[in-house]
A and B are shown apart, each in its own frame.
Chain A
């Protein structure tokens, strides 16, 4: 397909552009790795001293963490320009995207490459693989199919939040603090078995801001722990669907908000 080939070229070009700054390329990847590691090291250290947290052992938490991180990595690797979307709106880059003969989503994805997400993804993937090896999972064909779908669903949930908050940039030019709040919140809370949270917080994260479906709920499916969920087990299998639904909602919000675009920057 024409479009895909063009996208491939723009992506390659921007990768080559990034590699011009070789030192910071490596540093960015390393930094991504380190940043995510520290988060996990916290849990790892705690769980070497103590056996379990809310009945989850080290490798079970690692699985959860790995799923979330991989999902996050997949999203940030593919659509990695949203994080500075408000800057694009302010400095006129968005204007340029609007006058190019390419769909906006493809330009958001393929015209600028960031290297930090490589570190994000790499750390998540490694953690996931190691956890899968160490944890005892009763594999069934459904579970084997479920894992990649749940990860993709998680990526969509992550993306939906990012896209939804980025949409605010059309109305209020500076949304960076808001998006950092979201990102921060999600990074913190979505990587743990939510049974450690009080019921109100747990419900909030399941029904209102459905971060629970990113990693915790899919993990319970794989580990056969769906009993600790506040709803019947089969609902947990819908995690990928939730991802699609949320993304659809986010795209709708984004499209609507884009009509508010005032192109105030010059």
Chain B
């Protein structure tokens, strides 16, 4: 008779803990890439800061946004971009390419669950380096703290941003079950996603049509919305609206991911691994 596992047992399967730990170790095994990522975040801030400072010129405020707020925005977005950098898609792609996925799927823990655990480990490993990143960003930019209440809501927004980010990259990764090479798609999503997440230009400065497009896409939920909350640009109703938008995307993408995953499993069976 097969013992039925409780939900908690299934989610917190000890095997998952091992995968999680593997994720952390993986981040440090590719140390160089991590340092590279940190440098890139610093460079990015240096550059956008210089451009926006030059653009502001002698004006202290543009469209009601102070240069101080602008700088804080750029700093926060940079830190968020460092923290939300999923390798999920690459992992899945690699496992499919090398055929490992067949082995992974036979394990008692779900494949997607394994990947998520791995990603979580990878993220935590990255976040440990915030000790270096945050002071660096502070030096280059500014992090004028918001009120405690706002900060808590920011954290909530960040959590939602993380979820949305993971889901997007999960979907990109799952596309590897159909496309042989997701390299191109991955780069496009990264590029376009980064742009529409407000990494270079906050949505409030985007021209009409571009902003409209950005508001329809899920990418603003990954960086722009939490950052806007942090700097106090989204307040009151707008703030709650932002959180709702993030929440809605989290749900939609979650459903999409599970549907795609179901199809993917089917496909694997049909292809015979």
**Which residues of chain A (21-79) have a CB below 8 Å from chain B?**
24, 27-28, 31, 34-35, 38, 41-43, 45-46, 48-50, 53-54
B187-A38 in contact (CB<8A)? no
Instruction: Provide the residues of chain A in CB contact with B188, threshold 8 Å.
Output: 31, 34
Which of B36, B46, B205 is in CB contact (< 8 Å) with A46?
Answer: B205
Q: What mask results when residues 180 to 213 of chain B are scored 1 for a CB within 8 Å of chain A, else 0?
A: 0100100110011001000011000111001000
A206 is an interface residue with CB less than 8 A from chain B: no
The contact of B50 among A28, A180, A196, by CB within 8 Å, is: A196
Contact among A31, A48, A49, A54 for B187, CB-based, below 8 A: A31
Closest CB of chain B to A182's CB: distance in Å?
10
Which of A5-13, A128-136, A183-191 lies on the face that meets chain B? A183-191
A198 to chain B, nearest CB (A): 8
A180 and B36 in contact, given A45-B207, A49-B207 (Cβ under 8 angstroms): yes
Given that A24-B184, A35-B191, A54-B54 are known contacts, is A42 also in contact with B205, CB under 8 Å in the complex? Answer: no
Kindly state the interface size class of chain B when it binds its partner.
Answer: 20 to 34
- A177 at the B interface (CB under 8 A): yes
Residues of B contacting A192 with CB < 8 Å? 47, 50-51
How far in angstroms is the closest Cβ of chain A from B223? 15
Interface class of chain B by DSSP: helix
Interface residues of B in 140-159 (CB under 8 A from A): none
Q: How many residues of A contact B (CB 8 A)?
A: 31
B54 touches A48 (CB 8 A): no
Whether A195 is near chain B, meaning CB under 8 Å from some CB there, is yes
Q: Is the CB of B43 within 8 A of A185?
A: yes
CB-CB contacts below 8 Å: B29-83 with A: 32-33, 35-36, 39-40, 43-44, 46-47, 50-55, 62
| A50:B47 contact, CB within 8 angstroms | no
Task: Please judge, given known A-B contacts A27-B184, A46-B205, A184-B40, whether A196 and B54 are in contact too, CB under 8 Å.
Answer: yes
Q: Is the CB of A196 within 8 A of B184?
A: no
Contact A53-B191, Cβ < 8 Å, known A24-B181, A45-B207, A46-B205 = no
Cβ–Cβ contact A184 & B200, under 8 A: no
Report the Cα distance A239→B106, complex, angstroms.
62
Binary CB contact string for chain A from 166 to 207 against chain B (1 if under 8 A, 0 otherwise): 000000001001001100110011001001111001000000
Chain B residues in 8 Å Cβ range of A180 = 36
Whether B35 and A189, one on each chain, are in contact in the complex, defined by CB atoms closer than 8 angstroms, is no
CB distance from A4 to the nearest CB of B (A): 34
Q: Which residues in B have their C-beta under 8 angstroms from that of A31? A: 184, 187-188
With A46-B201, A188-B43, A196-B54 known to touch, is A177 a contact of B33 (CB < 8 Å)? Answer: yes
- Shortest C-beta distance, A54 to chain B (Å), equals 4
Taking the nearest CB of chain A, how far is it from the CB of B214, in angstroms?
Answer: 11
A198 to B207, CA, bound (A): 29
Q: In the docked arrangement, what's the CA distance between A143 and B200, Å?
A: 34
Binding site for A on B (CB under 8 A): 32-33, 35-36, 39-40, 43-44, 46-47, 50-55, 62, 181, 184, 187-188, 191-192, 195, 200-201, 205-207, 210
Can you offer 30 A-B residue contacts whose CB atoms are under 8 A? A31-B184, A34-B191, A35-B187, A38-B192, A38-B195, A41-B195, A42-B195, A45-B201, A45-B206, A45-B207, A45-B210, A46-B55, A48-B207, A49-B205, A49-B207, A50-B55, A180-B36, A181-B36, A181-B39, A184-B39, A184-B43, A185-B43, A188-B43, A188-B47, A189-B43, A192-B50, A196-B50, A196-B54, A198-B50, A201-B50
| A-B complex: 8 closest residue pairs judged by Cβ atoms | A196-B54, A177-B32, A54-B54, A177-B36, A42-B200, A196-B50, A27-B184, A53-B54
Additional A-B contacts beyond A31-B188, A35-B191, A53-B54 (11; CB < 8 A):
A24-B181, A28-B184, A31-B187, A38-B192, A42-B195, A43-B51, A45-B207, A49-B205, A188-B44, A189-B43, A196-B53
